[in-house]
Structure 1
Amino acid sequence: MRHFSPAMVRFIGVALLACAGLSGCGGGSGGGNSSSNAAAPASASAASSASTPVATAPTQPVPPAAPVNTTVTQSTTANVQPITVANIATGTRNMLQTSVTICVPGTTTCQTIDNIQVDTGSQGLRILASVLSPALALPSVTSSAGSTVGECSVFGTGYTWGAVRSADIQLAGEEAPGTSIQVIADPALPTVPTDCANAGISMQTATALRSNGILGVGPFAVDCGAGCASTALSRWYYGCSGSTCTSSTLAVSQQVANPISRFAADNNGLVIELPAVAATGASAVTGTMTFGIGSQANNVLGSAQVLPSNTATGFVSTSFQGLTYGTSFIDSGSNGLFLTLTSLPKCGLWFCPTSPQSFAATVTGSDGSTANATFAIGNATTLFGSGNNAFSNLAGPSSNYFDWGLPFFFGRRIFTAIESRVTPAGNGPYYAF
C-alpha cells in the first residue's frame, strides 16, 4: 500500500493481495477448487499521483463473501500490538491483520474494529463506514473554506472514497489523539467524484477490500504531504458541498496521518516480528507490532542492518541476478514477494516451480549501505492446496520493481523508521532487518 506525494513523487506503498485458492475461486480471493492453476494476485493498494508509474498486479472480481471476524487479544505491554495471519472468508492468504480502537475525540465513546490490515507501505487509518456503530459520531474534518473534506485513495486496481473524519486512535497502550482518518463509503459523501471513479474498481466493501480497513504504518507521517497542502490535486483531497466535491488543498496537519507519528512517545517508527513458518506454511501465526525504535528495551535495533530509504519516495534498491531495481520496498501489505524472474514456470499469475527454489539478493539503502537477503519460492498451487494461510515462499512476477512483501517478514524483525524522526541510527525514513 503505497502513496506518492504529488510534489515529490513520494512512494508510500503497494499492497498486492492474492486470491487464496486456485484459479476459478470466484475470480478473486475466495475458496479454492480443483483447477490446476493458482489464482492471480489482486492489487489492494498503491495510491499515487497520476504522473507516477505504480506497481500493480492483475485483478479479478471478488466473490460475494465478507471477512470473518478475527479478534486480536491485546497485549499488556503498552507499546506492543498483537498481529495475526489467519483464515479470512475471502480466502486471501498472507493477510496481516490486527484490531484497532477508535473513539470520538476527547471522549470514552469508543469502538474496537477487527480485521484491519497492517500495512507498512501506506500512511493512515482507513475504515469502512459499514462497520462503525451509529453511536460513534466522528466529527468531520472541514477545510479552511468550511467545506466537508473527502478523500480519494487510488490503489493498484481501484479506489476507496470517503469522508475525512477525526478520531482518537488507540493501539495497545498508545493513543493518537484527534487524528484524521478516512471513512470509506461514508454515507455523508455518497457521490464519488468522476475522476476518482475512473481510477478503477470500487473497493468500498469488506469483500472488495478483503478487510474492514487498512492501518497504514509506513515510513511517512501523512499520506500526501506538502503537495496537497499547496495544490488542489485530482484524486487526493476534496472540498464537498452537498453532492458536489471539488479537488482542494488540505493542510498537512489535517491530512490522514500515520497514527504512530501522533503518539506522545514511541513515535519514530515500529518493528514487526513474525515467527518463521515451515516450507508448507502454517494455518495461522501470531506476531507483534512494537511501536518505537530505540525508545524502549523491546524495540532496540541490535544487530539489524539499517538501510536508509529515499526521503522523497521511500524506495531502497534491490540487486538480483545481475540487475538492480531502484523501485524496491519492504511492504507488509503485499501478500507475496513480487519480482522479475523469467526462469521459473508460472501457474496463473504466481510462480510454480516443480520444486522449491532458493535465491539471494542484496538490498541497498540510499547511502550505499547493503544487506543480503535470502528467500525461497514454492509452488503456489501446492501451497494453496495445503489449506494453510501463512506462507514465507509465495511469490509472483512483477515488471521492473522488487516488492519484499509479507513472506519476507516471517522469521525476521523488520523495522520501519518514520521520516525526519530521530532514532539511535539517525533520522528516518529507513528500513532495518
Structure 2
Amino acid sequence: MVPITVAQIATGTRNMLQASVTICVPGTSTCQTIDNIQVDTGSQGLRILASALAPTLVLPSVTASAGSTAASCTVFGSGYTWGSVRTADVRMAGLVAAATSIQVISDPAIPAVPTDCSNSGLPMLTATALRSNGILGVGPFRADCGSGCAVTALPRWYYGCASGACEAATLPVGQQVTNPISRFATDNNGVVIELPAVAAAGAASVTGTMTFGIGSQSNNLLGSAQVLPSNSMTGFVSTTFQGQTYGTSFIDSGSNGLFFPLSSVPRCGFWFCPTTEQSLAATVAGNNGTTSNVTFTIGNATSLFASGNYALSNLAGPASNYFDWGLPFFFGRRVFTAIEASATPAGNGPYYAF
C-alpha cells in the first residue's frame, strides 16, 4: 500500500492523483525516489521525464530491430509523450518490478519526435505540459501495446532510432513499456484505489491509498464490490445513460473530470456549468452483462474553480460518443482494476470492480 494524494500542483490543475515512485538502475542500489507522478488506471507503464532523473541514474537502453535504440510514442486523450525505452527496477511499497521497461520522456539521447507522432496532439514533454514528473499507468493490461506491436511496425507506438532518425519498429511484448504491477513477485494481479468522499464544494486536498493485488491480502479483498469484466482487447465496458448506451466506456483515474455526452446543461469552455448542481444516474455494464447502477453529480465548473479547492467530485465536461469515468468517480469508492489474464478470486482480469 502506498499513499496517493490530490492536492494543489504548480499548474493549478484540479483532480491530479499523484504518488511517489522509486526507480533504480537494474540490480543495483543506485536509486531515486521521484515525487509527483500521476496515477493513471487508463494507461499501462511508467513514464518519467528525463529532466526529473538525477545524472547518476543511468538506465540501460532497450534495443529495437537491427540494433537500433528503442523509442516510444504514447498518445493520450490530452496529447502525446515521446522518449526512449529504458529498463529500471521499479519499487513501491516494498515490492520490486525488476528490469522493467519504462519510457523516459524527452530523453536527449534520442532524435526529435517523428512527424506521425508529433501530429498526435499536444506535446506533453515538460513538467508543465505533463502537469507532473511522469505517469504511472496501472491499467488493466500488462504492456502498453501488446502483440500487435510485436508483429507489425505500427506508427505512433514503437520506433528504432539510428543515424539521427527514428522509424516505426516492432518490439517484443516483454520489452514494451510495462505495467509494473504485473512484474511484482506477489500482489501482481491488479490494484485498488481508495479515496475519501468530498463535499459538493470540493476539498483543498485529500489523501488515499493505492493497494497492490486483488484478493491476495486482507486489505485488498473484493468484499461486496460488483465485478464488471471489461473487453479483453480494449478494456472497455459500456455505460447506459439517458437511454443511450456507450460501448466505449472506461474508468480512468488519469482523467481529471467525468466526460460524457449531455446536451441539456450549459457549458463553460471545456466544462459543464449548470446553474444548480445536477444529480444524474447511469448503469455500467461488463461484457458479460453484469451491471452496476451509479449515481453522480455535476457542479458548476466556474464556481468549483473559484473555490480554490483541488479535489472535486462533481467536475464534468462534454464528450462526443464515449463515457469517461474520470477521477471524480473514485471519490468515496474502492475501485479495483484487475490485470488481463491474471487470476483473482473473481476470475481472471481484465475487469473493474467497485
Query: When the two structures are superposed, what TM-score results if normalisation uses the length of structure 2?
Result: 0.99
* Whole-Å separation in 1 of the counterparts to 2:28 and 2:78: 37
Offset at 1:173?
1.1
> 1:126 maps to which residue?
47
1:379 and 2:309 are equivalent in the alignment: no
Of 210, 222, 241, 2:131 maps to 210
Match of 1:81 in 2: 2
Q: Counterpart in 1 of 2:13?
A: 92
Structure 2 CA distance for aligned equivalents of residues 103 and 95 of structure 1 = 25
Q: Which residue of the other structure, out of 337, 342, 346, is the alignment partner of 1:425?
A: 346
Q: What is the aligned counterpart of 2:119 among 175, 198, 207?
A: 198
Query: 1:332 and 1:97 mapped to 2: Cα distance?
Result: 10
**Residue of structure 2 equivalent to 1:221:** 142
Q: Distance in 2 between matches of 1:306 and 1:269?
A: 13
**Cross-structure match for 2:333:** 412
Alignment of 1:101-180 (within 5 A): 101-180=22-101
Measured after TM superposition, the shift of residue 199 of structure 1 is: 1.9
Q: What is the rounded CA distance, in whole Å, between the counterparts of 1:155 and 1:286 in structure 2?
A: 26
Q: Structure 1 runs of 4+ off > 4 angstroms?
A: none
Paired position in structure 1 for 2:110: 189
Query: 2:47 is matched by which residue type in structure 1?
Result: R
How far the C-alpha of 1:242 sits from its partner, in A, is 3.0
Query: Structure 1: any 5+ residue segments left out of the alignment?
Result: 1-79
Taking the aligned partners of 1:392 and 1:197, their CA distance within structure 2 comes to 33
1:3-402 equivalent positions in 2, closer than 5 A: 80-402=1-323
Q: Aligned residues: percent identity?
A: 77
Give, in whole Å, the separation in 1 of the partners of 2:111 and 2:150.
25
Q: Write the letter of the residue equivalent to 2:185.
A: A
Please list the CA deviations of residues 209-248 of structure 1 after superposition, one character each: whole Å capped at 9, or x if unmatched.
Answer: 1111000000000000000000111111111113121111
- Equivalent residues of 2:190, 2:338 under 8 A apart: yes
Shift, 1:157, TM fit = 4.1
Structure 1, residues 185-208: CA drift from partner, whole Å, max 9, x if none?
Answer: 001013211221222222110001
User: C-alpha distance in 2, partners of 1:95/1:410?
Assistant: 12
What is the identity, as a one-letter code, of the residue corresponding to 1:141? V
C-alpha RMSD over aligned residues: 0.8
TM superposition shift of 1:144: 4.8
| 1: CA distance, partners of 2:10 / 2:83 | 24
- When normalised by structure 1's length, the TM-score is 0.81
Name the amino acid aligned to 1:302.
G
Name the aligned partner's letter for residue 264 of structure 2.
Answer: S
Given the alignment of the two structures, is residue 403 of structure 1 paired with residue 321 of structure 2, yes or no? no
- Matching residue of 1:22: none
What is the CA–CA distance in structure 2 between the aligned matches of 1:399 and 1:198, rounded to whole Å? 21
For each residue in 1:358-383, what CA deviation from the matched residue of structure 2 results, as whole angstroms up to 9, or x when unmatched?
A: 11111000000000101001111111
Q: Which secondary structure state, in structure 2, belongs to the residue aligned with residue 327 of structure 1?
A: strand
AA of the residue aligned to 2:351: Y
Partners of 1:157 and 1:122 in 2: how far apart? 13
Separation in structure 2 between the aligned mates of residue 404 and residue 384 of structure 1, nearest angstrom: 20
Question: For residues 207 and 93 of structure 1, what CA distance do their matches in structure 2 show?
Answer: 14
Q: Would you say the 8 A contact 2:189–2:213 is kept in 1?
A: yes
Structure 1: distance between partners of 2:271 and 2:165: 42
Provide the rounded CA distance (Å) in 2 between the counterparts of 1:157 and 1:114: 22
Aligned to 1:55: none
- After TM superposition, give the deviation of residue 355 of structure 1 in Å: 1.0
Q: Give 1:28's aligned residue.
A: none
Read off the aligned partner of 1:262 and give its amino acid letter. Answer: R
Deviation at 1:156, TM superposition (A): 2.7
Aligned residues: 354
Q: CA-to-partner distance for each residue in 1:239-275, whole Å, 9 max, x for gaps?
A: 1113121111101110000000000000000110000
Residue identity opposite 1:400 in structure 2 = N
Question: What's the offset of the Cα at 1:349?
Answer: 1.9
